[in-house]
Amino acid sequence: MSADYRSMWKDLGLDLAAHDALLGILGPAYQDIYLAQKNRPEGMGYFDFVMNEVHGLRIKELLDEKAAGRKIIGSYCVFVPEEIVLAANATLVGLCSGADFATGEVEKLLPRNTCALIKSAFGFKLGKVCPYLESADMVVGENTCDGKKKAYETFKNLVENLYVMDLPQVKSGQGRELLKSEYSRFKTAVEELTGVKITADSLSKAIKTVNAKRAAIHRLSALRQADPAPISGLDALLANQVFFYDNPSRFTASVEKICDELEVRIADGKGAFPKKTPRILISGCPQAVPNWKLPLIVETSGAVIIGEESCVGERGARNLTAESGKTVEEMMEAIVDRYYQVDCAIFTPNPDRLAHIEEMAATYKADGVIHYGLQFCQPYLMEAIPVEKALEQQSIPTLRIETDYSLEDMGQLKTRIEAFIEQLR
């Protein structure tokens, strides 16, 4: 980290010793996993810098924004519309994390058999190690899976500014009405928090800003169709993870820049891995920073990841919001239309997700699919079985894995994944 941010972290209420311990693990892990890769695009230097400063410069920027009167809103789900937040002159940051922390304390509040993603959110709060959470003026939780919605009942005792958003579980006329009324309630809450009334002009600009960010990620994804893959799955996942933290316009420019570089690589026939390396599509639970376990295993076992059907990936970023609305009401309808298409496994039935996995497997020319399920995540683990059956019927080899954030099963996973990749050759 390029500056001494200790007084900033102390003022935010972080536990400096615990935070040092966390950074002490993350820094070397990043070196070993990311910087050790070969044939990285030069543009990844920006993302290395962002990760290096993820608890430093980016937090300072957010605190400077706060000092200038801007509010920070944290979220745990891609259903929280960034467009509404930006239009009210606030900043949205992702809070999901991909590491275990303070597990003993967490298990005093949550059952042991809770998914790692939820436990991690509690652990980062109880362990006082997340400067994003501590900077947030509002923390949005959403009623998605049973685990999250019950956990927020306890989480509200730990976070004084928790706002819970209800979400539909069925895609029906009533489901869409619920989403619409919840987005309207959220808009009012954000306006009250910021003291800024959302106008047609501010909402239109916000829609364009978020669309540009998503369009840049679409461009990056499309370039991964090439063989050899111009970028590793680890690096592409990192860009998708930084999507949730960075300043939106700067992020867009940085992704566009890396895409320019990848286009040249493709034209020159250069890749992150040799041509004909087995190509894997990952599908399933979100992989939040610093959860790089699966891509690390896959890409050190002789395959390359060419897409993520995940909320940190294409499920979260696909589809743009229509820009044709003229009034706030029309734009809010367009926002509802866009988010209503997110095919999270909390929906029942959820045929769109399977169709999307099949479409991605074909578009990105995947040789096989690995379904990534976090232990105790009922929605994704349940869906994994019909997904596997459907893909296998179409002769798309599929491997279902169930894991958590610990490193204990690395060896066992590597053995299974190596055998799967062997089968694809």
Residues within the interface to ligand BJ8 (CB under 6 A): 77-79, 115, 117-118, 144-145, 147-148, 285-286, 311, 342, 344, 346, 374, 377, 379-380
Q: Which is nearer to ligand BJ8, 61 or 107 (CB)?
A: 107
CB of 159 to ligand BJ8, least distance (A): 16
Q: Which is nearer to ligand BJ8, 75 or 91 (CB)?
A: 75
CB of 375 to ligand BJ8, least distance (A): 9
Length of the chain: 425
Q: Which is nearer to ligand BJ8, 80 or 255 (CB)?
A: 80
CB of 352 to ligand BJ8, least distance (A): 13
CB of 205 to ligand BJ8, least distance (A): 25
Q: Which is nearer to ligand BJ8, 81 or 147 (CB)?
A: 147
Rounded CA separation 88/102 (Å): 35
CB of 343 to ligand BJ8, least distance (A): 9
Q: Which is nearer to ligand BJ8, 298 or 344 (CB)?
A: 344
Given strand 162-166, what is the order of strands in its sheet? 90-94, 71-75, 138-143, 162-166
Rounded CA separation 173/359 (Å): 26
CB of 350 to ligand BJ8, least distance (A): 11
Burial 296-335 (b: 16+ CB within 10 A, else e): bbbbebebbbbbbbbbbbbbbbbbbbeeebeebeebbbbb
Residues in contact with 269: Cβ distance below 8 Å, sequence separation at least 6, in sequence order: 228, 275
Are 65 and 130 in contact, with CB atoms under 8 Å apart?
no
Q: Which is nearer to ligand BJ8, 307 or 379 (CB)?
A: 379
CB of 184 to ligand BJ8, least distance (A): 20
Q: Which is nearer to ligand BJ8, 252 or 283 (CB)?
A: 283
CB of 271 to ligand BJ8, least distance (A): 30
CB of 345 to ligand BJ8, least distance (A): 7
Q: Which is nearer to ligand BJ8, 19 or 119 (CB)?
A: 119
Q: Which is nearer to ligand BJ8, 273 or 372 (CB)?
A: 372
